[in-house]
Structure 1
Amino acid sequence: MTEQTTATRGARFGDAALRERLRIRMRVPVFAAPMFLVTGPALVTAACRAGIVGAFPTLNARTPDELDLWLAQLNRDTEGAAPYAANLILDRRNPRRDSDLAAILRHQPPMVIASVGAPDPVIAPIHAYGGLVFSDVATLRHARKAAEAGVDGLVLLTAGAGGNTGALNPFAFVAAVRQFWDGPLALAGGLTGGHELRAIQALDVDFAYMGTPFLAARESLAPEAHKQAVVQGTIDDIVLSDRISGMNANLLRPRLIEAGVIAPDGTVRDLRGDTLVSWKNVWSAGHGVGAITKEQPVVQIVADLIRAYEGGN
């Protein structure tokens, strides 16, 4: 081990005071996670007004011009509410990476979630306008690299998260990251209820990163059949596969069968050649899908979270 690596491993990263500053802007410590083809301005705005962070993938806006309109609208509609976050895919294969970053710098959303790539290139320009950068990570190595790069927060993708997911146990992953990270920490992976918020805080986690509870929200862009599949689904309906995008993702088995993605022998067909079309043909959900029993507006979902979090039923 080199001297530099030894020194780095002994260093601590992250702004501990930022954890509390973010929490006081929220009624309950939750991010409505960005969901590809599902989250739009209506869901984000409803989430922020209800008192949680609303996040959306920039690619959900069909063009860079539409993204400009979405960001301008969100700046207006979330004023005085909890902050919103734009989720930027940094993979070099994303043809809109640079144009979407340019839109972010024009409209200056309060938070940016960097995904599928090193956050290093976007941290300085986003910090320059006062924005915060969170990085989602699925391994300890990537968590450490993001911390060293200077991100403001980490999102730990653990086993059970809907869509693209991690594989690590959340207890072990959080403990390992807290050995060097003092800043805000969000956890993704099968979280659906307010009681779970209290549980993860015992692990020294600040925020739950929830997607599946908002799939069936009335403001969701998911087709009605997807919402019903979530309402009717159980944990046994979730299939883990990397044959859609090349990364492990949790998907709904009934839809995979309906779309012909699962072969007669039970294997998932390889659809990695056309990622966008493939994602339109499948539906995601996380391990917590069984807790979702009805379609509701976002404000009611958040109210239920608050009631359980504060000790009610």
Structure 2
Amino acid sequence: MSIALTELLKIKHPIIQAPMFLVSNVDMVTEAMKSGIAGCIPALNYRTLDELRLAIKTLKKEKVEGGAFGFNLIVNKSNIKYKGQLEVICEEGCDFIITSLGSPEETIKQAHKAGIKVFCDVVDLKFAKKVEALGADAIIAVNNEAGGHRGNISPKALITQLVANCNIPIISAGGVGCKADIDKMLSYGAAGVSVGSPFIASVEAQVTNEYKQACVDYGAKDIVMTERISGTPCTVINTPYVKKIGTKATWIENLLNKNRKLKKWVKMIRFSIGMNATKNAATKATYKTVWVAGPSIEHTKAILPTKEIVKKLVI
């Protein structure tokens, strides 16, 4: 329980550059490692297993002392690429895996055989105890200030509850945009922090300059929850387009979601449409600006290289 993230991953600063769909990439993580923190990329950012394998090989070559890298896996049945992704990651090797949205049991089993640590996303004590019992090396405590699919509990309440009841390190995710935020999370008992939104406006992020600039121009008060992307509440910047389409599911979506036979298919279709819209907004010039971000963009004042963003977080 007393193991700090710096010791767990052999990094200089207790920070993980959080995995972000469409945003995280090899260049970002390389610069993160050179800056003394860990970087993580969603395996789903790669269309093929060959692309994923190449990314791992590249990061292994770029790794420096004081840095670490890992990958995020969606471990439920909706990710049909999961088994192949896990196999490639275990074959090639990395420092850690972060699991999301499902049971991490198989990931923990296979990753530990390959000498890879496994950290698991949780939003409450119930799931924290489950992943601890399965052998997780640390818990990613996703609080109600996280970007994207967030939790419902405040950082302080969630961290203190998990620290008091779990015997593995607790890594706080959400609500960190500056050094003072990190110090606050560590004071609650966190072993380290996972930071995402501030890195959207990094030079290395391969998203549009409009998306990056939005993270500069908008702030915490402009972050809203929407049900229109994946069917699960998700935080986005409240752009004019988001205001136009609204943030609540339509009446027909709500009706179909109540049908036990159709619910699964409706959610899959909604997820597919929403993810395509998010991808287009992040990577192309479009008026349909659905930009995922968290309230920590409040501290984003300019588009900067990753190394400068890290410096602002640690000094």
- Give 2:295's aligned amino acid: H
Determine if the alignment matches structure 1 residue 303 to structure 2 residue 303: no
* Larger CA deviation: 84-93 vs 179-188: 179-188
Question: 2:8 maps to which residue?
Answer: 22
Question: 1:55 maps to which residue?
Answer: 40
- Give 2:238's aligned amino acid: R
Give the drift of 1:17. 4.1
Structure 2 CA distance, aligned partners of 1:238 and 1:148? 35
Secondary structure in 1 matching 2:235: strand
Q: Which structure 2 residues correspond to residues 181-260 of structure 1 after superposition, within 5 A?
A: 181-254=166-239, 257-258=240-241
Question: Structure 1 residues 166, 246: closer, same or farther in 2, change over 3 A?
Answer: same
- Give 1:99's aligned amino acid: G
Give the drift of 1:95. 1.5
Question: Does the CA-based 8 Å contact 2:4-2:191 persist in structure 1?
Answer: no
Structure 1 CA distance, aligned partners of 2:307 and 2:3? 29
Match for residue 45 of structure 1 among 25, 30, 37: 30
Give the drift of 1:30. 0.9
Q: Please report the RMSD computed on the Cα atoms of aligned residues, expressed in angstroms.
A: 1.9
Give the drift of 1:22. 2.3
Structure 2 CA distance, aligned partners of 1:45 and 1:84? 8
Question: 2:86 maps to which residue?
Answer: 101
* TM-score computed with the length of structure 1 as normaliser: 0.86
Q: Which structure 2 residues correspond to residues 54-133 of structure 1 after superposition, within 5 A?
A: 54-133=39-118
Count of equivalent residues: 288
Secondary structure in 1 matching 2:168: coil
Question: Does the CA-based 8 Å contact 1:152-1:184 persist in structure 2?
Answer: yes
Structure 2 CA distance, aligned partners of 1:114 and 1:166? 15
Secondary structure in 1 matching 2:12: coil
| Unaligned stretches of 5+ residues in structure 1 | 1-14, 308-313
Question: Does the CA-based 8 Å contact 2:119-2:137 persist in structure 1?
Answer: yes
Secondary structure in 2 matching 1:163: coil
Give the drift of 1:26. 2.3
Give the drift of 1:121. 1.0
Structure 2 CA distance, aligned partners of 1:264 and 1:85? 36
Question: Does the CA-based 8 Å contact 2:138-2:170 persist in structure 1?
Answer: yes
String of CA shifts for 1:34-76, please: whole Å, max 9, x gaps.
0000000000111011001101101111211111111111111
Structure 2 CA distance, aligned partners of 1:31 and 1:18? 12
- Give 2:34's aligned amino acid: R
Secondary structure in 1 matching 2:164: coil
| Unaligned stretches of 5+ residues in structure 2 | 254-269, 282-289
Structure 2 CA distance, aligned partners of 1:163 and 1:265? 17
Question: Structure 1 residues 179, 100: closer, same or farther in 2, change over 3 A?
Answer: same
Identity between Structure 1 and Structure 2 (%): 28
Secondary structure in 2 matching 1:179: helix
Structure 2 CA distance, aligned partners of 1:93 and 1:230? 30
Give the drift of 1:137. 0.8
Determine if the alignment matches structure 1 residue 148 to structure 2 residue 133: yes
